[in-house]
Amino acid sequence: MDDVLDLFGWAPPPRPQPKSSAPSKRGPRPAPAPAPPPKAAPPRRSGRAEGEILRIVAPIAPHLRAVVYTRNRRIMASVGDRGRELRLNEAFATAPREVLAAVARLFSARDARTRARARAAVRAFIATIPLEPAAVRRRPRTRQVLPGDEPHLQALREEFRRINAAHFDAALPEVPMYLSGQMRRRNGHFCSSPLEIVISRTLCTHAHPGEAAHTLRHEMIHLWQHATGKKPDHGPEFRAWARRLDVHPRATRRVAWTNRPRQG
């Protein structure tokens, strides 16, 4: 209880001191330090809660079972948990119902024309989201290379060079590669700013041989898209490259695990 109250600036009352008849040789006691001011509560997000969003999108995309808000501004909308979880930037909390319906169609419609219209509606809404002020933007993440990462990174670099020479005429730039222990729903990602490829550390340590190389080839296609002036996506051009590189043609795939640790 004390720990909880302390968060709000509570301090225990001073214990009463026994009175003494002898004259005190010390000077007057200093006044007790004032209690620290209460910590400001984090600002609450305005707009719809995740459950309200789910009630809007579920009739259109019944496979969605949950909605999770994120602060990821690079990927504003995505699905995880094998397509059952919709992950939205928290700006979508104030999106009109028709935009949320377009998000549902984007991840559920079978025909390309419907998905294209939905994608255009979602992108139009994203374009209206104000950029974060420079003062509150997050600092670039400092990548940490653990002592056990180097053998895995060396194997990934060799695979990169092999695929680059065999399929891209060695035209792809060699970008920094890192392993991440923070990925819970992704196996890897390509980032254009800063230019880097990051692979899940768990994929390297607990998956069957070849799984990390598979993800690396996926991200190399995105690197090719970026290097040739195209926007990285999973459209027809990506799928054509995926067939050449024997890569799963979608954003998510099943992984063959040997002994995947439980996520905390």
Q: How confident is the model at residue 10 (pLDDT cuts 50, 70, 90)?
A: very low
Q: Tell me what pLDDT residue 75 has.
A: 80
CB of 245 within 8 A of CB of 163?
yes
Domains and CATH numbers, the chain: 50-128 (no CATH), 149-244 (3.30.2010.10)
Contacting residues for 81 by C-beta, under 8 A, at least 6 apart? 65, 66, 185
Tell me the whole-structure pTM to 2 decimals: 0.51
Residue 139 clears pLDDT 70, i.e. is over it: no
Q: How confident is the model at residue 4 (pLDDT cuts 50, 70, 90)?
A: very low
Q: CA 134, CA 131: separation in Å to the nearest integer? A: 9
| 71 exposure class (CB count in 10 Å sphere: 0-12, 13-18, 19+) | exposed
- Mean pLDDT for the stretch of residues 32-51: 62
